[in-house]
Structure 1
Amino acid sequence: MGTTLQALLAAHPDTAPAIGAPGRTWLTYGGLRALSADIRTQLRSAGVGPSDRVAIVLPNGAAMATAFVTIAQSATTAPLNPSYREDEYTFYLEDLKAKALVVEAAYDGPALAPAQRAGMTILRVESDDADPAGSFRLVPDAAQDAAPEGTPGPDDIALILHTSGTTSRPKIVPLLQSNLAASAVNIAHSLALTPQDRCLNVMPLFHIHGLVAAVSATLISGGSIFCTAGFNAMNFFAIMEEARPTWYTAVPTMHQAILSRAPRNAETIANVPLRFLRSSSASLPAQVMEELARTFNAPVVEAYGMTEATHQMCCNPLDRQKPGSVGVEAGPMVRIAHETENRLIDGTGEVCISGDNVTPGYEGNPDANAKNFFEAEGHRWFRTGDQGAFDNDGFLHLTGRLKEIINRGGEKVSPLEVDGVLMDHPAIQQVVTFALPHPKLGEEVAAAVVLRDGAQADEAGIRDFARQRLAEFKVPRRVVILDEIPKGATGKMQRIGLAEKLGLVETA
């Protein structure tokens, strides 16, 4: 029997700090529980019942964190990216069938018109800077009939997110209260979180990584979380001084930006010692993991997550990290499946998972469910779409997304393998290997790189470097040197479609 977010938050001392933000007093656990009760009353009086869906469009920060945590105890949350355009909001709000939209008090942005056209209740977040971090009240634009009381149970939906939809229509992923609770507990256990720990959140809070690994896992462990307005490498160390965290979690591109500013912030690194650093949502190059560990004198824990797993599936243990591995199973059962047949295998294949943190299935999409879920050996397995294999120590090594594996005339190339080789080049700071359409081979190998400050390299030299370390068919045919690699909304570098984004057309 699963549990709920509310039940897990009930045990912590009233006076313990829970939510912080720059220049604000701390919201305590007692304050968070009182706020949760007030928000429930405000939702019900605005006509939002326990099974209704509430879209949240708020900027990153303490109010976004508390809006998620408090609303999720009383209804279904659906956080959306505040930078979407009106057409995107029209799609997502309609797809979600949301009852209400939560926005800032003075918001007049692109989510408003689609919500009004759909007849949704507009709830405005009003707050006072003199109140503790994350304090707010919900004020509806118009009076509504009250909704019936009720408390969501373990089998009710707590959170709805969409898959990123890089190659197809985004799929709706409903995550139950029990999924959210199980994943938060798994992460807290993996990281040995205690009430003495403090997380510095730089992740966007419309994404599973920030919502579950940073916010939920911290709060169920009784620790505190300092909420920033989003990631900014320029002020990261200043905020670190104020927040005094014991850890933070980020995507690899953020870690690399932090590393680039670390030498001039050695005093802060010494003054605010971290117990560990966590990386997830994309593969962390081994070279970056090792440089982070040296710089911060702390373990760098790479984890492996995805939305359908309510984030975490695997995690490197605190006492043993393997650069280039996403760790050991850390919550759900993790196995390898045949890529086309519904059976488990040894060796390399599609990573699949089964456990209390796994979504019951995509909403309104029986074809996707039939394709992605299967029964074997007494369990229901979800196919992750990732290819990988376990080593003899039980650490999982990913080869890449199955859709991202480059098929060069029948020879399969792992983009992650090429990334790893190119990251050893002394001039290269970031790299993303991707498929380039080719008229004869189908796909050719290409790479986009960002050079270190002051470093020099050219395409021919980088290709020669790769040629000494890789079989000829794996050597990038094109190397594009960029000031910045295009990233998605959560800071991940995206391989699929990168050739088109960069305007590369193969003519060979």
Structure 2
Amino acid sequence: MTAGGQEARGQGLGIHQKISDIPRQWAQATPSGIAIREDTDFVTFGRLWTNIGAAMHFLREQGVGTGDRVMIVAENCTAVITLLFALSELGAWPAIVNARLSEREIESIRAHCTPRLMLFMHSTSPDAVRHGVRYRAREISPPGLGPLMMGASDETSVREEASLAREIALLIYTSGTTGMPKGVMATHRGLLHFARVSANSRNMSTSDCAYAVMPMSHIFGLATLLLATFQAGASLHLSARFKAEEVLAALAAGEISILQGVPTMFTRIVAYVREHAVEVSAPALRYLYTGGGPLDPTLKRDVEALFGQPLHHGYGMTEYAGSLFITRMDRPRQDCSSGEIVEGAELRVVDPQGEDMPAGEPGELWVRGPGVMHGYYRAPEQTAEALREGGWLNTGDIGRLDPDGALFIVGRTRDLIIRSGFNVYPIEVESVINTYPSIRQSAVVGRAAADGNEEVVAFVEIKDGTTFDADELRRYVDERLSAYKRPSAIIHIDTIPTTASGKLLKQRLRVLAAEQD
């Protein structure tokens, strides 16, 4: 089955050729407008652009030029944003990585992208200090950036050809099924298109302020928050790490009009409010959005009851520079659909042979449009597997389209569990488990069985002040699921592991499930 959005009208694309054109525009139009709020400080668009110019001078002094890569080990801070746009102006590629990654992960990314320069934002991240020391970085304080740690320049790093360098905005690293890093080459064209579509879909204006705790190393933080917010000339309230009490305090202060995050973030907010019996005040809040993972009905109901307004949802991926489907503000969904296709995007729902599925049937999602990545950096085989003939990107996700065009994500191809010949989609099982009163959240994975079959294994995290009774939970689940979907094991875990951006680490859970076989 195929779905297509409207053709992109190109509004703004003729003016903006690279992502740094966005802050340049606002620095010229409204230099006194606030761009970033961080702690007690704020940065106007005029000051930001001045800092970008100073950062460009610093980078040139280090030998950084068109086609170079610069690896930035950091958590959210103003300096990361400044560097992102300074490198855009130079035609160099930032590779922003979360400082909370392990030493092995940081080194794997460094070895893969061979950066000309490594920078560590140690003033806002204790983990960045640890990594900086490991790479023998020295402390400096360049104009426009402030205190940071800088590693030695790698003179052996080979520059990319200029025409390619100018097409690509940055490298965004994701972990594949093997855990090895994949560097997504996101294009200026794709990111600019998404920034415009996203800002329009949220009716954003210069008076908005978006809470930004999603890491800038992730497409959510970088595109949905940073670029879309700046596209509208609005401001970001930067936060390096998520704390529910800090989010609630910022909302109560009356600044935040837009709150966006992964489902795990909203799960933690709901849990904190319940466990501490605090009052929720958000006088300026007008838009709630969750993406980056499946939304289950229990969480949607709880968040909407807490804030008294719709929780919007969407579907996107790093390889498409942002969202492909978004629920509309003028017609919020009562279900957990990912909404309607965005302008410029096309979708096919196909079977394993790449043939279109009948209408309404679940299948693998292939997408096409301006947001499709250039490819995976230095990975031609992985690129060929993902990018198919005709410009289609194989997302690896499974979904179905309703007759009204709404998309429902069923699961990931790699997460699909096949039990006794039947397909089990983890989200179906998780949605039932999450309705049980004492469950905070759950994660379901498959485990190989001795007969060559697969078993369903559920990990559960319970709410504070409650007890875990596996037998009682099992009876509850068995009453609500078909026999082949029922978990063979329900395992209590203190905290379900997540990435720095809040996504469930199911690969780690698969290992745990196998160990407990």
TM-score when scaled to structure 1?
Answer: 0.88
1:62 has 2:83 as partner: no
* Pairing of 1:51-90 with structure 2 (within 5 A): 51-74=67-90, 75-90=92-107
1:194 pairs, out of 205, 215, 221, with 205
8 Å Cα contact 1:335-1:353 kept in structure 2:
yes
Match of 2:373 in 1: 359
Residues 105 and 395 (structure 1), Cα distance of their counterparts in 2 relative to 1, 3 Å cut: closer
**Unaligned ranges ≥5, structure 2:** 1-9
Secondary structure class of the residue paired with 2:371: coil
Partner of 1:297: 308
Alignment of 1:247-262 (within 5 A): 247-262=258-273
Taking the TM superposition and a 5 Å limit, the aligned residue runs for 1:282-431 are 282-319=293-330, 320-346=332-358, 347-375=361-389, 379-431=390-442
Shift of 1:479: 0.8
Taking the aligned partners of 1:439 and 1:333, their CA distance within structure 2 comes to 44
Aligned to 1:126: 141
Distance 1:188 1:170 in 2: 30
- 1:122-153 Cα distance to aligned partner (Å, 9 max, x none): 6866379xxxxx853778677999xx9x9999
Distance of 2:250 and 2:343 partners within structure 1:
32
Q: Distance in 2 between matches of 1:436 and 1:63?
A: 44
**Larger RCO (alpha carbons 8 Å, 6+ apart):** 2
Equivalent position of 2:43 in the other structure: 27
Q: Deviations over 1:404-455 (max 9, x none)?
A: 0111132210101111111222222211111122111431011111223333
C-alpha separation in 2, matches of 1:86 and 1:368: 25
Structure 2 CA distance for partners of 1:153 and 1:495, relative to 1, 3 Å: closer
CA gap of 1:368–1:141, structure 2 versus 1, over 3 A, is closer
Pairing partner for 1:38 from 42, 48, 54: 54
User: Does the CA contact (< 8 Å) of 1:46 and 1:140 recur in 2?
Assistant: no
Distance 2:151 2:165 in 1: 31
Look up the match of 2:281: 270
Determine helix, strand or coil for the equivalent of 1:20: strand
Instruction: Specify the alignment match of 1:96 in structure 2.
Output: 113
Which residue in 1 is equivalent to 2:130?
109
C-alpha separation in 2, matches of 1:452 and 1:85: 28
**RMSD after superposition:** 2.9
CA displacement at 1:71 relative to structure 2: 3.0
Q: Rate the CA distance shift 1:459–1:97 in 2: closer, same or farther, 3 A.
A: same
Residue 199 of structure 1 contacts residue 226 of structure 1 at CA under 8 Å; is this kept in 2?
A: yes
Percent identical across equivalent pairs? 26
Residue in 2 that maps onto 1:131: none
Q: Show the counterpart of 1:171.
A: 182
Deviates more, 1:203-212 or 1:228-237: 228-237
After TM superposition, give the deviation of residue 493 of structure 1 in Å. Answer: 1.3
Separation of aligned partners in 2, 1:99 and 1:37: 20
2:5 alignment counterpart: none
C-alpha contact (below 8 Å) 1:446/1:476 kept by paired residues:
yes
3-state secondary structure, aligned to 2:223? helix
Q: 1:442 to 1:155 in 2, by over 3 A?
A: farther
Instruction: Write the letter of the residue equivalent to 1:339.
Output: D
CA distance 1:137–1:73, shift in 2 (3 Å): farther
Structure 1 letter corresponding to 2:19: L
Residue 153 of structure 2 is aligned to residue 136 of structure 1: no
What do the CA deviations read for 1:282-305 (whole angstroms, capped 9, x no partner)? Answer: 112121112111211122111212
Cα distance between partner residues in 1 of 2:420 and 2:204: 48
Q: Which runs of 5+ in 1 are unaligned?
A: 117-121, 129-133
Distance 2:344 2:469 in 1: 45
How many residues align? The count is 488
Task: Give the match's secondary structure for 1:64.
Answer: helix
1:50 maps to what in 2? 66
Aligned-partner Cα distance in 1 for 2:55–2:186: 21
Letter in 1 for 2:336: G
Deviations 1:60-92 (A, max 9, x none): 333333333333333211011212343333321
Q: Distance in 2 between matches of 1:390 and 1:302?
A: 15
TM-score by length of 2: 0.87
What CA distance in whole angstroms lies between the structure 2 residues aligned with 1:223 and 1:123? 35
